[in-house]
Structure 1
């Protein structure tokens, strides 16, 4: 391998580290130089011109510096490819313990989720987003997560993972997306637009290039995502209130952890949609042939404010006097009343009597097509 290859690789890694850490390139290169045993980057370039060559071990040491700033895969190895492509639904679930209690931590859509027995800690992707800890009410007096020290340790782990996720995203973005130029111009990481001032679609805030780059392209006021940041407030009319500039002192860093004690047990909340779904499923179960099955699917099911039900059957599809036994049993379990009616409606297919002779929809379809074909003796069935 040519010596110049390793030096080019070194410069590539230092650029990627600068984007990941959102620091000037010269600072990133000085950090790399220290890893190699030099005081600053100029000494590295002088040594390289004098004939000094990098080794694989030294390149690996610089790679480890970058790996520590970026998320790893399940085996703990480096992830040096396109982080944005890999992190939409990240499969990297890591396990660990706090004071002997197990937890799992993962990232999805840039947000970090940490789970333990009876608790869930959420840290949003936005650097100024509010971290929240939900503790199950049922175990609140037993869970160690209820203790402040435990909460702080869990939060430190989750925030470190969030910083790794941010670094991974930033390392894949153009350099000008995380570092404004001397005029304050920055490049939008998704649409490529360049501007010194940006606007949030959600809260009509105007944001400087430095502010939006520092916040990883989330609105510093409302935490809206980069998808909602634009170089002009094109959605506003002349008579609308103009965007309000964001002042740095309004919001700095992440807010304190918010702890919610919640009853996380699953609750059945019946509404018209759920009652209708159960009743129709029961009607299908009551059907003994294709005709009745179509009748169950075709029936009108009305649910009132008290969840009582009125079922209107078509008299050609549902036999008069046939009791929907399963549907009535389901209603009894739910504690609701059922009324039944018959009516005549325009049917989807002719000859409803055909479907009374089979339980097979395939066989019924074949009989129906033949019946339609017999009406068109001189034309093919369409």
Structure 2
């Protein structure tokens, strides 16, 4: 091992820690130095020049400092790939218990989701966005999350996970995206543009580089995502009032938890599209051959205001006296009536009767193609 390798690794770890915590590099290095038992980072460099090097145990301790800050894999080590690339696809839910009750926590597109029986806690990626708790109304007073102390503990767990997620995002972005320079310039993490003033397309607000960096590139006013933040208000036309500046006091500060109590049981709301889908599926089930299946798929199904159904079949594709037994059974279950009629229309293929001899679409297609081929102009009428 080269003499300066260990100190070089300390520098790399402190730089990543600074990006994750969004603090100046010198503060991150002083934190590392204190962890090693030195008052300041300068003392570390002086000691190294005098022959001192961190031991493997000390390096491991600094790695743990970073590991506690960033999202980790199931093995407990930071993900090797860039964090944003890994988090866009979400993570598998991690299982845990709180006061004897099971819970699962996962990350999807930067948002943290923690849920248990009868409750779901959502902490958005945007630092200024309020966390929301949904409690199932049907077991409202039985759900453990309804207890104020349990609720606070769950929020702390989800909040800590959200803090890790944000640290991971910040460590994967350019340093200038989360740390303005002396002139207030910051770099957009997606477009790469530099500016000391930014504009939100979503709410038509303007903000300083320091404000947008502090809010992790979500609008401090409306929580719009980084894709809505631009270096110039190109959407403003002549005569418009222009974007309204966001004052520091206007931006949200650690919003309180929002609790929603709702009946989360699934409810079937029948509409014309759903009824049509069920009836047509039943018609296909009633079809005994390829021709009837074409008739089921091409039938006109009209859902009336009272949800009763009118079915119009083509008489060349659906037998005149054939009852759509399955469709009528579905209608009975839905509590609606069915009326039927036959009509003539332009068919998609000639010789519809060919399909009456097979239930295979492939075989019907073969017979239909052969029939068309027999009509080629280079063949005799005989």
TM-score (norm 1): 0.96
Q: Which runs of 5+ in 2 are unaligned?
A: none
Partner of 2:261: 261
Shift in Å, 1:320: 1.1
The DSSP-based 3-state class of the residue aligned with 1:3 is: coil
Deviations, residues 192-228 of structure 1 (Å, cap 9, x unaligned): 0111111111000101100000000000000001111
1:140 aligns with 2:149: no
Shift in Å, 1:108: 0.4
Distance 1:338 1:202 in 2: 48
Partner of 1:10: 10
Shift in Å, 1:3: 2.4
| 2:97–2:103 Cα contact (<8 Å) kept | yes
Shift in Å, 1:233: 1.1
| 2:221–2:252 Cα contact (<8 Å) kept | no
| 1:74–1:92 Cα contact (<8 Å) kept | no
| 1:113–1:122 Cα contact (<8 Å) kept | yes
Query: How many corresponding residue pairs?
Result: 379
Between 1:165-174 and 1:57-66, the stretch displaced more is 57-66
Shift in Å, 1:300: 1.1
Return structure 1 stretches of 4+ with deviation > 3 angstroms.
Answer: none
Deviations, residues 101-134 of structure 1 (Å, cap 9, x unaligned): 1111111000000011110000100001111111
Shift in Å, 1:347: 1.5
Partner of 1:55: 55
Between 1:127-136 and 1:94-103, the stretch displaced more is 94-103
Deviations, residues 154-182 of structure 1 (Å, cap 9, x unaligned): 11111111000000000011000000000
| 1:176–1:186 Cα contact (<8 Å) kept | yes
Partner of 1:315: 315
Distance 1:179 1:272 in 2: 54
Distance 2:44 2:252 in 1: 37
Distance 1:193 1:220 in 2: 19
Q: 1:321 to 1:283 in 2, by over 3 A?
A: same
Distance 1:372 1:350 in 2: 8
Partner of 2:301: 301
1:170 aligns with 2:164: no
Please give the root-mean-square deviation of Cα atoms over the aligned residues, in Å: 1.3
| 2:282–2:327 Cα contact (<8 Å) kept | yes
Q: 1:110 to 1:229 in 2, by over 3 A?
A: same
| 2:128–2:252 Cα contact (<8 Å) kept | yes
